[in-house]
Amino acid sequence: MLKNSIKYSSLLLAFVISLGACKNEQGDTLPEGKAAIRVNLSGAEFDQGGVIGSKASTGSTASSLQRQVVAINKDLSIVSELIPVTQEATLGKNASLGGKRAAVVREDLPENVKYKVAVYDASENYVTERDYTRGQESSTEALILNGGENYTFIAYSVGSTSVLPAITFSDANNKTLAGSSVMDVNADSTDLMYFRKDMQLVSNADNNLEVILKHQFSEITTKVDATATGYNIVDIRGGIYDHYAQADIALQDAAITRKGTVGEAGLDFSGLNTMVVNAAPRKLNANTTTGMLHFSGFAIGEIRVTNLTALANLNITPGVKYNLNLTIVPNDIYLTYQGQSAARINGKIWMRHNLGANTDVNPDLDPVISSLGGNFYQFGRSAVVANASSSENAISNWNTTAAPANAWNSGTTTAPQKTANDPCPSGYRIPSKNEYDQLLQDMSVSNNSGTWGTTATNVAYGPAKILTSKRNRSVILTFPASGFRDSRDGKWAWRGGSGPFWTSELTTVDQVYRLSILRDIATVRNTANVGHTAVSGYSVRCIAE
C-alpha cells in the first residue's frame, strides 16, 4: 500500500512539472510542439562604418576624419571637422553580421518606445506580427509559433512612443518578405531603426529574441567654438545637405529608398551670445559623397556673413553617428595691438620686436642689426640688466639671488597670469612654455642670411631664426641670436651664436625653461648648462594677455 502511494505521488509530481515546462512567459500552457518567443529590446546601434575583419552585409563604410578650412573674411577662418563616433563592441550572432566582430556604437533606448516584430516562415511567407512597447513586452499577446521550424524575425521602430507605421505589402493576397516594406517614413521627425534575425525554434520552451535595432539614418551633432576670437556667436542659421524628407525601407534587407526633394537638414543651435554653441543631434537621410554644411546667416561679434559653405564634398554614410566640430580661428596677420607692432599666429598675438628693441626699425631686417637686440632680463624681475649697447664685460654687483618660481606667473602653465614683476607693456606678458611650444608647431623654422657663431665668443649681430606662419607665408617672426648674460657675473656670451628667450616658468634655479635658438635648432628646453640659470640675462619676446 505504501509503495503504491509513493508511485502515485511521483507520477503526480512529474505531471505538475511537465505542465510548468510547457507554459510561456505569460503563464499560459504551450500546446505540444509549439514554441514561445520571449522578446526583449536591448538597445540600438550606430554603425562605425564597417566590420573588423569582414564587411557588413550593407557593404557601407564611413570615412575617417574629414577636415576643411574656409575663410570667413580676411580676419577669420572656420576649421570644420566631421568625425565618425567610434566605439568597438562585440555583437551577438545575427543574420546581418553572422557573429562577426563589428565596430559599432551601441546606445540604450528610452522606455515606452514602440516597435514591431513581424514573423516570416522558412519560405519567407508572412506569418504574423506583434506591436511591443519597450518595458511592457509582457502585456503584448503571446507570440507562439511551431517548434523545430525556421523563421525570420524582422523588427523595426521609428523611435517614437506613439507612432508605429504599418507594414505595406506589395500583394495583399500573397504576403511575402520580399514584398514587405514600410513606406513614407518621415525622416525629419523620426529615427528609423531595423533588425533581422533568422532562427530555428526549440519546441516546448521559451525562445529568446534579443532585438538590437540598427539606425538607418545618420546622426550628426554639431558644435561651433569661437573661443579663440574672444567674441560671442550672436547668430547662426544653417543646415546639412543632402537630406531627403522621406524614406521607404524594404524589410527583407533594409534597403532604403530616399524620397522627396533633396534639401537641407536644418540645425537647431542653443547657447547664442556665448563663445560656444551646440546644435541638437540631427538625423540625416542621406548616402552621399557631395554633402555640404551651409550657413545662411552667421555672426561673431560685429562680423556678419551670409551664404557661407563651411564644408563641401562630405562623405556621409547611412547609419553612422558623427560629431561635426567647427572652430573659428583668427587668420595669421600683422596688426597693431596695444600700440605695439604684432603678429597674430593661430589666435595668439606676439610682439614683432624684442622687448627694448628700437620699434622704429623693421623687425625682420636680414641680417639683423644691434638695435633689434633689445634688453636682457633676469628671471622674475622687471629691471633691465643690460641691452644691445652695453659692454661685453662682466657686470659689477651682478645679482645672483634667484627670484621665486611664480615671480612672472601666478597662474599655471595652461592658464598663465601676469604679475607686477613682468616687464612686458600693458596688455602683454612673458610667454609660458606651452605658448612657445605651440608657436614652434604653428611656424616653419629657418635661418636668415647672417653668419652664425659656434663658440661662446661674441660675433657681430646678424644671424636670427625666422619663424614663418604655416597659414600665411607672408607673416613671419624674427628672433635675433643676441646671446645672453652669464649667470655667474653678467658677462655677455654667445652673441651671434645663440638666443635664449625667457618663458614664465622654471623647474629649479638651474633648470629654466627658455626658447633656445642655435644655428641648427629652435626648441623649448630646461636643461642645465654652465652660465644658464634663473639669474642669467635673457631676451624677452612678449605675448598678448
**CATH code where residue 254 lies:** 2.60.40.2630
Check pLDDT > 90 for residue 59: no
- Do residue 473 and residue 337 come from a single domain? yes
Question: In 3D, which of 197, 138, 199, 140 has the Cα closest to residue 164?
Answer: 140
Q: Which residue range is the domain that position 149 belongs to?
A: 25-63+85-215
- Do residue 311 and residue 337 come from a single domain? no
Residue 18 in domain: no
The secondary structure of residue 394, as a DSSP letter, is: P
Residue 71 or residue 409, greater confidence: 409
* Cis amide linkage into residue 367, ω under 30° from 0: yes
The band of 136, judged by pLDDT with boundaries at 50, 70 and 90, is very high
Residue 17 in domain: no
The band of 373, judged by pLDDT with boundaries at 50, 70 and 90, is very high
Is 103:94 a contact under the CB 8 Å cutoff? Answer: no
Residue 214 or residue 105, greater confidence: 214
φ/ψ of 283, rounded to 5, equals -75, 145
The band of 5, judged by pLDDT with boundaries at 50, 70 and 90, is very low
Residue 16 in domain: no
The secondary structure of residue 452, as a DSSP letter, is: P
Q: What pLDDT is stored for residue 73 in this prediction?
A: 83
- Do residue 297 and residue 366 come from a single domain? no
Check pLDDT > 60 for residue 50: no
Check pLDDT > 70 for residue 501: yes
Task: Give the contacts of 305 (CB within 8 A, at least 6 positions apart).
Answer: 72, 73, 295, 297, 298, 299
Average pLDDT, the chain: 89
Check pLDDT > 50 for residue 117: yes
Kindly list the distances between the CA atom of residue 276 and the CA atoms of 69, 132, 228, 280, 460, in Å, as whole numbers in the listed order: 18, 41, 10, 13, 50
Check pLDDT > 80 for residue 6: no
Check pLDDT > 50 for residue 13: no
Residue 368 or residue 331, greater confidence: 368
The band of 103, judged by pLDDT with boundaries at 50, 70 and 90, is low
- State the cell numbers at 147: 517548434
* CATH number of the domain enclosing 103: 2.60.40
The band of 49, judged by pLDDT with boundaries at 50, 70 and 90, is low
pLDDT tens profile 457-500? 999 999 999 999 988 889 999 999 999 999 999 999 999 999 99
Give the mean pLDDT of 505-533.
91
Residue 311 in domain: yes
Domain boundary among 182, 215, 248: 215
Q: What pLDDT is stored for residue 120 in this prediction?
A: 99
Q: What pLDDT is stored for residue 28 in this prediction?
A: 59
* Residue appearing with cell numbers 657663431: 453
pLDDT tens profile 248-260? 999 999 999 999 8
- Do residue 38 and residue 147 come from a single domain? yes
pTM comes to: 0.63
* CA 425-430-545 angle, 5° bins: 65
Sign of CA dihedral 424, 428, 429, 435: negative
